[in-house]
Amino acid sequence: MTQLMRSWVSSANSDQTPFPLNNLPYGVFSTKGSAPRCGVAIGDMILDMQAAEEAGLVELDEDGAFDLPFWNDVMELGPDVWATLRARLTEMLAEGSTDQAAIEPLLVPQSAVDMHMPILVAEYTDFYAGKHHAMNVGTMFRGPENALPPNWLHIPIGYNGRASSVVVSGTDIVRPNGQTKAPEAELPSFGPCKRLDIELEMGAIVGSSSQLGQPVSVAEADAMIFGYVLLNDWSARDIQAWEYQPLGPFQAKAFATSISPWIVTKPALEPFRASTPEREKELLPYLRESGPMLYDIDLHVTMAPAGGAETVIARTNYNQMYYSAAQQLAHHASSGCAMTAGDLLGSGTISGPTPTERGSLLELTWGGKEPMTLDTGETRTFIEDGDTLTLHGAAMGDGYQIGFGTCTGTILPAKTFPA
């Protein structure tokens, strides 16, 4: 296992920081009175990349790559530039660097910033690629003998979501309105969602584009991925239950998807590669992996009622997925669908084999039939107004961790329609 890389930024050398020199995740931040701009997290500080470029400390193939407040321009320069940039950042921030005096004035305390969306999301696709989640949900609705759809063990199932609804961690989420129908009701009704849920996911950010009509291999897809974020695909279960046949989720998923503010790049995660599980059905050649494509990333979810302490409600790991992001991307492009720098792929809900590893309230409370008790003494089946849900994640190394920051959102009451 890779050891901690030491930095002259002292806070980066703690085993408690999510942002050691081994990590160097990418985000967008602003300070009071300043416009948003790209930054790199190191310990409890952020390196201002626009200022570093202007000072001549960082030079990329394209001048002004950090002029705009998102990482898309850097992504579009390609993997060779990504590698060059990471090497230069590591050189500047490493213990003993001759650049320390020039870099120190460009560091901003994380405690003094607001975080923003790290990319302009081009397109958003969400998958249904965790077997434990699919088995749990399928068992609830169809019974254990028909839990998985016939295609599930052969392809990573997905649907196209709304890029316009992807928001950064810390953005409040308004409870959606929608049309629902109770089983005993003759007609549907319209109003606020009553079964609001989360989905604990990882998001893969596509950094390289592909051509329309041109498929890509799993290995090529892996090389196209710029990095990963935590992702919460908020879900209105009652709205979904009425609308999803025959075309799948629509309004039940369109109202919000939250992501963590820091993009953790593939090189930072390289020591934590993990294999997908043994296949129950052999995959077709275009989906077969050339090596480990998942990652060993510990994940947990907390819930805090308004004014109350948070409770850990689930713990699991990204290595529980049945399909990797590279397989999902390869399948997405297999029809000739053009992939674009800035595309976001949601992994699907990440659940493990035990009840405490379930990545949604739908599973944790078994469809609302088994309420859970929070540390405050309150009970929940689904999310109530004022509740704050937070996703946490880190890959645990030898004396260090590779963290993502948190992915959090607080639920606000539904909007009322004008009379």
Tell me the catalytic residues.
Answer: 133
φ, ψ for residue 40, nearest 5 deg: -125, 130
The distance of Cα 332 from the centroid of its chain, to the nearest Å, equals: 18
DSSP 144: G
Distance CA(172)–CA(362), nearest Å, equals 21
The amino acid occupying position 122 is: A
Cis peptide bond upstream of 246, omega within 30: yes
Q: Pseudo-torsion of CA 317, 322, 325, 331, nearest 10°? A: -170
> How many helices and strands in the chain, by DSSP H and E?
11, 27
DSSP bridge pairs for 372: 380
Q: 221 with 333: CB under 8 angstroms?
A: yes
3-state secondary structure of 270: helix
DSSP bridge pairs for 365: none
